[in-house]
Amino acid sequence: MRLSQFFLPTLKEDPKEAQIVSHRLMLRAGMIQQSSAGIYSWLPLGHRVLKNIENIVREEQNRAGALEILMPTLQPADLWRESGRYDDYGKEMLRITDRHDRDMLYGPTNEEQVTDIFRSHVKSYKNLPLNLYHIQWKFRDEVRPRFGIMRGREFLMKDAYSFDLDYEGAKIAYNNMFVAYLKTFARLGVKAIPLRADTGPIGGDLSHEFIVLADTGESEVFYHKDLLGLETPTQAEYSPEQLQSIVDEWTGYYAAADDMHDAEACDVAESDLITRRGIEVGHIFHFGDKYSKPLGASVAGPDGKEAVVSMGSYGIGVSRLVGGIIEASHDENGIIWPASVAPFDVGLINLKSGDEACDTACTEFYGKLTNAGVDVLYDDTSGRAGEKFAKMDLIGLPWQATIGPRGVKSGVVEVKNRASGEKQELSLDDALKLLV
């Protein structure tokens, strides 16, 4: 992509409305534009990152055996009356009436909707286990939408729902998602730690929030220092026993957010206990028959008896992650994208656009990289060198390649690694080898 043909409305000044670094950088890098409170348009650069994250989340869900569907954003209120949540949900739910005076709502989550799909079609335990997920916009009329897309009102979530014959099966489904989340966050280039979360009236210990550590996080978290050193599981598949032992390993260390932390009950030595702030980027939850019972989702079991299915739900805040990753990965000059989610792989800077030799060298290098499958943003504009460098640092592509009059003469390109800041002068061929 040539920058001259791209839409990148960057800002030089810090926008006043932004209180935290990710919001500031997303506005400055021209990634998003506010439409109304907590509701945003995604501009080309932001949209690319959002889609990259979404795709990694999708791949890991598919690998874990979950099946992608797409449920609507607008749901009938009657379904929520069946579960009793239409009245319980309160003001966070956006309620809408259609022209025939039917009560509708913009889904804040999809337990009822997916349970309705399940009960219409699945009648036998032989069709279990089943895990259905979608990646869809949600609406929650948050009291205080803030921090840009981190606490939006409209936001993109991946939500998966598992159906099993009994608790034992549901626990395997839960562990399977737990491990899929560890893999997902590792691929996204962030350290996310699982914390035990409140299970409320459901009880049990099958609820975890996944938290990215960042100073601007909304919750305070307490965890054993060794938790950060654990190895992420990499195998494609695990047996139920292996899943259990991975979950046991990761949940064997103390980790709790402020709402669950109990200084008295915490037996971690003070020197081993770390206190930081964190951002909730995922949440998994086993809730048994909470929805399947009132909605009548049951199957014939092996003994011929009807059994109400046991369910869990598994959310990832896809749009929140865009901000979460920036909070965890930036410096004073801008964003530092992990390679897996970066909007482009390489930023190519032409130091003297309009100079025939520079233009030719850049066009050729750009063509070679592009042909090799590298996603390049080529700054072919006539801006000043300093401005070009600053812009590339701001948008945080993993690599920058700079070609100017001096380099053209000697056949070299300067390659900079955004994360380390390390620069090297390489021949065009060696630069290609490094970047492809």
Q: Which is nearer to ligand ATP, 147 or 399 (CB)?
A: 147
| Closest CA relative to residue 335, chosen from 30, 41, 42 | 30
- Using the rule CB under 5 A, give the single segment among 112-120, 240-248, 276-284, 417-425 that binds Mg ion: 276-284
Decide which of ligand ATP, Mg ion, none touches 320; Cβ closer than 5 to 8 Å per partner kind: ligand ATP
x/- contact string, 225-264, with ligand ATP (CB under 6 A)?
A: ----------------------------------------
282 touching ligand ATP, by CB under 6 A: yes
Taking each continuous run of H as one helix and of E as one strand, the counts in the chain are: 13, 23
Residue 335 burial class via C-beta count within 10 angstroms: exposed 0-12, middle 13-18, buried 19 and up: buried
What's 436's DSSP letter? -
Phi, psi of 307 (to 5 degrees): -130, 130
Q: Which is nearer to Mg ion, 112 or 280 (CB)?
A: 280
Decide which of Mg ion, ligand ATP, none touches 343; Cβ closer than 5 to 8 Å per partner kind: none
Q: Which is nearer to ligand ATP, 283 or 330 (CB)?
A: 283
Q: Which is nearer to ligand ATP, 37 or 436 (CB)?
A: 37
- Using the rule CB under 5 A, give the single segment among 2-10, 185-193, 282-290, 362-370 that binds Mg ion: 282-290
CA dihedral 211, 213, 218, 220 (to 10 degrees): 90
- Using the rule CB under 6 A, give the single segment among 71-79, 94-102, 266-274, 317-325 that binds ligand ATP: 317-325
User: Nearest residue by C-beta to ligand ATP?
Assistant: 317
Rounded to whole angstroms, the Cα distance separating 129 from 151 reads: 33
When binding is defined by CB under 6 A, the residue of 134, 171, 183, 283 that contacts ligand ATP is 283
Give yes or no for a contact between 394 and 12, defined as CB atoms under 8 angstroms apart.
no
283 touching Mg ion, by CB under 5 A: yes
Q: What one-character-per-residue DSSP string does 17-33 give?
A: T--SHHHHHHHHTT-EE
* E runs forming strands in 119-179: 130-139, 154-164
142 touching ligand ATP, by CB under 6 A: yes
Q: Which is nearer to ligand ATP, 280 or 289 (CB)?
A: 280
Which residues, in sequence order, are CB contacts of 243 under 8 Å at separation 6+? 172, 175, 176, 178, 179
Residues that bind Mg ion (CB under 5 A): 280, 283
Which residues would be at the binding site for ligand ATP (CB under 6 A)? 140, 142, 151-152, 155, 157, 280-283, 315, 317, 319-320
